[in-house]
Structure 1
Amino acid sequence: MKKIIYVLLFFTAFNTACKKASTGDEPISPVTPPINTELPSGAKDGVAFINNGTSAIVTLYAPGKTSISIIGDFNDWSTSASVMKKTSDGNTWWIQIDNLNPNSEYAYQFYVDGKLKVADPYCEKILDPDNDKYISAAVYPNLKAYPTGKTTGIVSIMQANQPLYAWKNNSFTRPDKNNLVIYELLIRDFTTEHTYASTLAKLDYLIGLGINTIELMPVNEFEGNLSWGYNPSFYFAADKYYGTKTALQNFIDECHGKGIAVIMDMVLNHSFGQSPMVQLYFDGSKPTVNSPWFNVDAKHPYNVGYDFNHESAATKKFSKDVIKFWMQQYKVDGFRFDLSKGFTQKTSTDDAGMSAYDASRIAIWKEYNSYIKSIDPNNFYVILEHFADATEEKVLADDGMMLWNNINYNMNEATMGWLGNSNFQWGFYANHGFSKSENLVTYGESHDEERLNFKNITYGNASGSYVIKGNLATSLKREEIAAAFLFAIPGPKMVWQFGELGYDVNIDFNGRTGEKPIRWEYFADPNRKALYDAYAKFIRLKKNNSIFNSTSATYNLAGGVKYIKLIEGSNTVIVVGNFDVVSQPANVDFGSSGTWIDAVGNNISLSSNNYTATLAPGEYHIFSKTALK
Structure 2
Amino acid sequence: MKKITILFLLISSLGFSQITITPNPFDINASITISLDANSAATDCNGLNNPTKVYLHSGVGKTNDAWSTSVIGNWGQDDGVGQMTYNTTNNRWEITFIPKSYYGLTDSEAASITNMGMVFRNAAGNQELKDNGCSDFIFNVGSFQLTLNSPSTTTSILNSGETLAINATASLPANFNLKANGVSIDQKTNLTSYSFSPTVTQNTTFVLEATNNGETKSSTFQAIVKPTLTEADVPTGMKDGINLNSTDNTKATLVFYAPDKDFVHVIGSFNNWEINDAYLLKKDSSSDRFWIELTGLTPQTDYSYQYIINADLRVADPYSTVVLTESNDQYIDDVTYPNLPSYPSGETNHAVTLLRTGDADYVWQNKNFTKPAKTDLVIYELLIRDFDALHSYDAVKARLDYLQDLGINAIEFLPVMEFDGNESWGYNPSFHMALDKYYGTTTAFKQFIDECHRRGIAVIIDVAFNHASGQNPYYRMWNTDNGGYGGQASTDSPFFNPIARHSYSVFNDYNHSKQAVKDYVKRVSQYWIDEYKIDGFRWDLTKGFTQNCTGSDACTNAYQQDRVDVLKEYADYQWEIDPDFYIIFEHLGGNTEETEWVNYRLDEGKGIMVWGNHNHQYNQATMGFGSDADFSWISYKNRGWSVPANVSYMESHDEERLMYKNLQYGNSSGSYSVKNTSTALDREELAGAFYFTVPGPKMIWQFGELGYDISIDQNGRTGNKPILWNYFDNQDRKDVYNTWSKLIQLKLKFDIFEASDFTMDVGNSNGLNKIHLTDDTAQEIQYVTIIGNFGVTTQNIAPAFQKTGVWYDLLNDDQTINVNNVNDVISLAPGEFKVYGNHQAALSTEDLFLEDEVMVYPNPARNSFKLNINTNSVRVYDMNGKKVMDFSGSFSANETFNIQQLNKGIYFLEVKNPDGKAYKKLIIE
Which TM-score band applies after superposition, normalised by the shorter structure? over 0.9
Give 2:836's aligned amino acid: F
Distance of aligned partners of 1:198 and 1:86 in 2 relative to their CA distance in 1, 3 Å threshold: same
Contact 1:64/1:90, CA 8 A, preserved across alignment: no
Compare the two structures and name the one with the higher strand fraction. 2
Distance of aligned partners of 1:96 and 1:349 in 2 relative to their CA distance in 1, 3 Å threshold: closer
Residue 221 of structure 2 corresponds to which residue in structure 1?
27
Measure, in 1, the Cα distance between the counterparts of 2:129 and 2:495. 21
Q: Determine helix, strand or coil for the equivalent of 2:418.
A: coil
User: Where do residues 227-246 of structure 1 align in structure 2 (5 Å cutoff)?
Assistant: 227-246=424-443
Measure, in 1, the Cα distance between the counterparts of 2:409 and 2:220. 54
Per-residue deviation, 1:482: 0.2
> 1:399-426 CA deviation, whole Å, 9 max, x = no partner?
1000100100000000001111111111
Distance of aligned partners of 1:75 and 1:525 in 2 relative to their CA distance in 1, 3 Å threshold: same
Residue 502 of structure 1 corresponds to which residue in structure 2?
707
Residue 774 of structure 2 corresponds to which residue in structure 1?
567
Residue 109 of structure 1 corresponds to which residue in structure 2?
306
Residue 618 of structure 1 corresponds to which residue in structure 2?
831
Give TM-score, length-normalised by structure 2.
Answer: 0.65
Q: Is 1:36 aligned to residue 238 of structure 2?
A: no
Residue 270 of structure 2 corresponds to which residue in structure 1?
74
Residue 15 of structure 1 corresponds to which residue in structure 2?
133
Contact 2:499/2:550, CA 8 A, preserved across alignment: no
Per-residue deviation, 1:302: 1.2
Partner residue of 1:294 out of 493, 496, 500? 496
> 1:426-461 CA deviation, whole Å, 9 max, x = no partner?
111012221111x11111000000111011111111
More divergent stretch after superposition (315-324 vs 98-107): 98-107
Residue 388 of structure 1 corresponds to which residue in structure 2?
589
Give 2:231's aligned amino acid: N
Measure, in 1, the Cα distance between the counterparts of 2:809 and 2:701. 28
Contact 1:102/1:160, CA 8 A, preserved across alignment: yes
> 1:267-302 CA deviation, whole Å, 9 max, x = no partner?
111111011111011112111111111111110001
Contact 1:354/1:389, CA 8 A, preserved across alignment: no
Q: Determine helix, strand or coil for the equivalent of 1:66.
A: coil
Per-residue deviation, 1:14: 7.3
More divergent stretch after superposition (31-40 vs 486-495): 31-40
Partner residue of 1:278 out of 454, 471, 475? 475
Q: Determine helix, strand or coil for the equivalent of 1:412.
A: helix
Per-residue deviation, 1:348: 7.9
Distance of aligned partners of 1:376 and 1:291 in 2 relative to their CA distance in 1, 3 Å threshold: same
Distance of aligned partners of 1:12 and 1:401 in 2 relative to their CA distance in 1, 3 Å threshold: farther
Per-residue deviation, 1:361: 1.2
Residue 571 of structure 2 corresponds to which residue in structure 1?
369
User: Where do residues 38-53 of structure 1 align in structure 2 (5 Å cutoff)?
Assistant: 38-50=233-245, 52-53=248-249
Contact 2:692/2:698, CA 8 A, preserved across alignment: yes
User: Where do residues 467-486 of structure 1 align in structure 2 (5 Å cutoff)?
Assistant: 467-469=673-675, 471-486=676-691
Partner residue of 1:454 out of 646, 649, 660? 660
Distance of aligned partners of 1:73 and 1:350 in 2 relative to their CA distance in 1, 3 Å threshold: closer
Contact 1:23/1:152, CA 8 A, preserved across alignment: no
User: Where do residues 415-564 of structure 1 align in structure 2 (5 Å cutoff)?
Assistant: 415-437=622-644, 439-469=645-675, 471-559=676-764, 560-564=767-771
Measure, in 2, the Cα distance between the counterparts of 1:460 and 1:292. 52
Distance of aligned partners of 1:18 and 1:119 in 2 relative to their CA distance in 1, 3 Å threshold: farther
Contact 1:354/1:388, CA 8 A, preserved across alignment: no
Per-residue deviation, 1:35: 2.7
Partner residue of 1:62 out of 258, 273, 280? 258
Partner residue of 1:594 out of 801, 805, 825? 805
Q: Determine helix, strand or coil for the equivalent of 2:798.
A: strand
Per-residue deviation, 1:266: 1.1
More divergent stretch after superposition (320-329 vs 352-361): 352-361
Compare the two structures and name the one with the higher helix fraction. 1
Contact 1:29/1:79, CA 8 A, preserved across alignment: no
Residue 401 of structure 1 corresponds to which residue in structure 2?
608
Q: Is 1:153 aligned to residue 347 of structure 2?
A: no
Per-residue deviation, 1:10: 12
Distance of aligned partners of 1:297 and 1:445 in 2 relative to their CA distance in 1, 3 Å threshold: same
> 1:513-532 CA deviation, whole Å, 9 max, x = no partner?
11111011010001111110
Per-residue deviation, 1:34: 2.5
Aligned-residue identity in percent: 44
Distance of aligned partners of 1:17 and 1:66 in 2 relative to their CA distance in 1, 3 Å threshold: farther
Give TM-score, length-normalised by structure 1.
Answer: 0.95
Distance of aligned partners of 1:45 and 1:351 in 2 relative to their CA distance in 1, 3 Å threshold: closer
Measure, in 2, the Cα distance between the counterparts of 1:221 and 1:14. 22
Measure, in 2, the Cα distance between the counterparts of 1:156 and 1:246. 17
User: Where do residues 123-142 of structure 1 align in structure 2 (5 Å cutoff)?
Assistant: 123-142=320-339
> 1:326-368 CA deviation, whole Å, 9 max, x = no partner?
1110001111111112111121899978611112211112212
Contact 2:374/2:697, CA 8 A, preserved across alignment: yes
Distance of aligned partners of 1:387 and 1:349 in 2 relative to their CA distance in 1, 3 Å threshold: farther
Per-residue deviation, 1:37: 2.3
Residue 585 of structure 1 corresponds to which residue in structure 2?
796
Distance of aligned partners of 1:26 and 1:105 in 2 relative to their CA distance in 1, 3 Å threshold: farther
Q: Determine helix, strand or coil for the equivalent of 1:448.
A: coil
Contact 1:231/1:305, CA 8 A, preserved across alignment: yes
Runs of at least 4 residues of structure 1 off by over 4 A? 7-14, 22-26, 348-354
Give 2:233's aligned amino acid: E
Residue 605 of structure 1 corresponds to which residue in structure 2?
818
Q: Determine helix, strand or coil for the equivalent of 2:429.
A: coil
Q: Which has more radius of gyration?
A: 2
Q: Determine helix, strand or coil for the equivalent of 1:236.
A: strand
Distance of aligned partners of 1:418 and 1:350 in 2 relative to their CA distance in 1, 3 Å threshold: farther
Residue 4 of structure 1 corresponds to which residue in structure 2?
none
Q: Determine helix, strand or coil for the equivalent of 1:596.
A: strand
Per-residue deviation, 1:53: 2.0
Measure, in 2, the Cα distance between the counterparts of 1:351 and 1:296. 19
More divergent stretch after superposition (137-146 vs 590-599): 590-599
Residue 122 of structure 1 corresponds to which residue in structure 2?
319
Measure, in 2, the Cα distance between the counterparts of 1:57 and 1:474. 63
Q: Determine helix, strand or coil for the equivalent of 2:681.
A: helix
Distance of aligned partners of 1:488 and 1:12 in 2 relative to their CA distance in 1, 3 Å threshold: farther
Contact 1:281/1:287, CA 8 A, preserved across alignment: yes
More divergent stretch after superposition (549-558 vs 485-494): 549-558
Contact 1:590/1:611, CA 8 A, preserved across alignment: no
Q: Which has the higher contact order (CA 8 A, sep 6+)?
A: 1
Per-residue deviation, 1:95: 1.9
Give 2:249's aligned amino acid: G
Partner residue of 1:203 out of 400, 414, 421? 400
Contact 2:328/2:421, CA 8 A, preserved across alignment: yes
Measure, in 2, the Cα distance between the counterparts of 1:361 and 1:440. 19
Give 2:725's aligned amino acid: W
Q: Determine helix, strand or coil for the equivalent of 2:524.
A: helix
Measure, in 2, the Cα distance between the counterparts of 1:248 and 1:12. 35
Per-residue deviation, 1:28: 3.6
Q: Any gaps of 5 or more consecutive residues in structure 1? A: 1-6
Q: Any gaps of 5 or more consecutive residues in structure 2? A: 1-46, 48-125, 138-152, 156-218, 482-486, 601-606, 843-925
Q: Determine helix, strand or coil for the equivalent of 2:452.
A: helix
Residue 3 of structure 1 corresponds to which residue in structure 2?
none
Residue 336 of structure 1 corresponds to which residue in structure 2?
538
